[in-house]
Structures are given as C-alpha cells and as structure tokens.
Amino acid sequence: MFKHEKMLFHPVAVEKANPQYAALLQEQLGGANGELKAAMQYMSQSFRIKDQEIKDLFLDIAAEELGHMEMVAQTINLLNGHDVEAAAVPAGEIESHVLLGLNPGLINASGYSWTGDYVTVTGDLCADLLSNIASEQRAKVVYEYLYRQIDDKKVKETIDFLLNREEAHNAMFREAFNKVQDTGSNRDFGTTKAAKMYFSMSEPSPQNNPFSNTSVTPPSFS
C-alpha cells in the first residue's frame, strides 16, 4: 500500500524558466538511469526476497525514488514555464511541446519513451544488489553532469540533494551486499580454485600491479 503525502521529499524551486535545461533533466525522469527506473527495479526485485530487513530496504528505497521522481518532475515543470513555444528550445527534445503540453513525461532527454527494459531483475540477491550499486553510481554520474550544466542556484540545490541521496542508497546497498555476499550465486558457483585466479594477458605489466596477482579476493564493500 502506498500513501501520497502532499509535501515533496525536499522542496524544489527555480530562479527562472529554462526549457532547454528542462529537456536535459528529463533524463532523470524517464531515462535509463533515472528515478522511475530505480523505483521499478528495486520494487520488482523485492518480491521474492526472504530476508525481511533487506526486503524492507529495497521497498523503502523504491518508495523514496518515487518521491525523487516527483521532485524531478516538478522541477521540469517549473523550468518549462507556462507557454508552449518550440522556439524556446533551440536544441534537444521538443516532444513535450507537441504531445504533452509541457507536462513532464516518461521520456528521456532525447524524447525516447521509458521502457521496462531498463529494469534488471535476476532473482539472485547478490546479482541484484551489485546491479543496484552500479545503478546508483550511474545515476550519481548523470546528476553530476547535470549539476555542471546549470547556473540556477535553486536547481543546483535540488540536484545536490538528489545526488547525495544516490550516494546514501549506494552505501546502504553495499552494506546489504556485505551481509549476503556468501549466499546465492556467490555460494552455488565460483567456489573452485579457478574462481580465484587472475590471468595477466597484458605484457609487459606495470610493476607491483595489484591486478596481476594470481589470487583474487572475493568482493567486499566493508
């Protein structure tokens, strides 16, 4: 069950309309590394999780991502202003001007529709957690790129908040992975000597190259 609170997770505002930047920000609404993708991925992955603590973690973060999606959509709405005018967007997608009436849509910065193909679900907790760690890192990178391309202080405050929440989620998923890293696919496969061997195929290799060791240490984020 979900309940909509009429207060944003964090207040959003803009100093002035900027339709061109609104088109860029669409990437974090309907893009492959955006908020909707994250919410749907974590929620979908949660359905078969037996560890109640980790299940709640996935659902809690998924719910927060929906709140982030609302923040991004509201920021796009403010940046678009209130006049349908294609000339106001010299480059980038103009789909919102001809189909959506400037309503934030489930499209990326190029106007392509959001798709469930963005969502990764394997049914294996280790694999899904590693995928989520990577997803949060990619989302953080996109927000960093967006942060560098806007001078609007109020928009930058919103992006800074969202960027830091991505880092928080990343840390939570890392802790969860540490808890279960010896289960699932990490337990069933990759347990022989071959799983701990590294073959150096690059010659000459730099001296003291840690990746050239013959022994591979299992992953840990502790």
Residues in binding site for Ca(2+): 56, 60, 202
Contacts of 49 by beta carbon, 8 Å cutoff, 6+ apart: 55, 58, 125
Question: Is the bond leading into 204 cis (omega within 30 degrees of zero)?
Answer: yes
Pair 80, 17: CB distance under 8 Å: yes
Residues annotated within a binding site for Mn(2+): 35, 65, 68, 136, 169
Of the candidates 78, 188, 77, 79, which has an alpha carbon nearest to the alpha carbon of residue 126? 188
HSE, side-chain direction, 13 A CA sphere, residue 160: 9
How many angstroms separate the most distant Cα atoms in the chain?
Answer: 65
Q: What is the CA radius of gyration of the chain?
A: 21
Token pair, residue 82, equals 């209130």
Residues annotated within a binding site: 35, 56, 60, 65, 68, 136, 169, 202
Token pair, residue 144, equals 């960093």
